Amino acid sequence: MFGNWLSVIGNLSVTNFQLRTMAMLLGKKVGMTGFYDESGKLVPVTVIQAGPCTVMQVKTIQTDGYNAVQLGYDDVKPSRRNKPQIGHAQKANTEPKKFVREMRLPDNVELEYKVGDSITVSVFAENEFVDIAGTSKGKGFAGVMKRHGFGGFPASHGTERKHRAPGSQSGFGTQRGRGSGPKKGKKMAGHMGNCRVTAKNHSLVAIDEKKNLLVVKGSVPGPAGGYCIVHSAKTRATSHER
């Protein structure tokens, strides 16, 4: 499925994690597989098709009040976009993009990209850990046991058709001064999944610059084929590598 990209997975040099210049790419989750490390342990990894991304717009403090670089990924037919979006893409001399996001930069950073530039996976050459944001799989309407891990009622004598019920939800005094309804955020049945999730400090196992692939350790939010945002980790990795 992934061709011969697995051959690019080599030994990842382990050094102290250092915060480096922020890097970000837009991509698409290809799927999961695994490989055996030096000790013979099977390591699960996720393959991400990251970039190349086109710089759609460069925002500065003078023009927009803050520094940012807007990236676009995955071409789409102009007929599927409105005229403002088509004109915005023409300024970057590219086709309209299906997935567009921007990377916020510090106020004192010097912008190194220009409109129309192409960014590839090579920007992660000096990164050992990355954060990945994606949209989780939608589970539809789910009860409290599946959604929040409730234990349910006992399955012993005396419990009648209440095994998966949520139990007491709220009393009259729970929202004192604001009415008798449940508090906001009360764990109840409802829509599960289909929300933005950020998985932090994934080890970057390998980079394939020819095929624009990133191989990261562990699972990534979202289904295969779902869009995701990959950026260098913002926090220091914990002692146990992810």
In a domain, 87, yes or no: yes
Are 38 and 60 part of one and the same domain? no
Count Cα atoms within 13 angstroms, Cβ side, for 241: 14
CATH of the domain at 27: 2.40.30.10
Exposed / middle / buried, residue 141 (Cβ in 10 Å: 0-12, 13-18, 19+):
exposed
Instruction: Tell how far CA 202 is from the center of its chain.
Output: 11
Is 147 in a helix, a strand, or coil? helix
- Structural domain count of the chain: 3
In a domain, 44, yes or no: yes
Are 146 and 240 part of one and the same domain? no
In a domain, 180, yes or no: no
In this prediction, residue 180 carries a pLDDT of: 72
Count Cα atoms within 13 angstroms, Cβ side, for 82: 1
Higher pLDDT, 20 or 148: 148
Are 20 and 57 part of one and the same domain? no
Look at residue 163 and tell me whether its pLDDT is greater than 60.
yes
Look at residue 22 and tell me whether its pLDDT is greater than 80.
no
Are 104 and 11 part of one and the same domain? no
Reduced DSSP (H G I as helix, E B as strand, rest coil) percent helix, strand, coil of the chain, to 5: 10, 35, 50
Look at residue 69 and tell me whether its pLDDT is greater than 80.
yes
Domain range spanning residue 161?
Answer: 139-168+186-192
Write out pLDDT tens, residues 182-235. 888 889 999 999 999 999 999 999 999 999 999 999 999 999 999 999 999 888
Q: Give this prediction's pTM.
A: 0.78
Q: Which residues pair with 163 in a beta bridge?
A: none
Helix (H) or strand (E) holding 146: helix 144-148
Q: What is the mean pLDDT of the chain?
A: 84
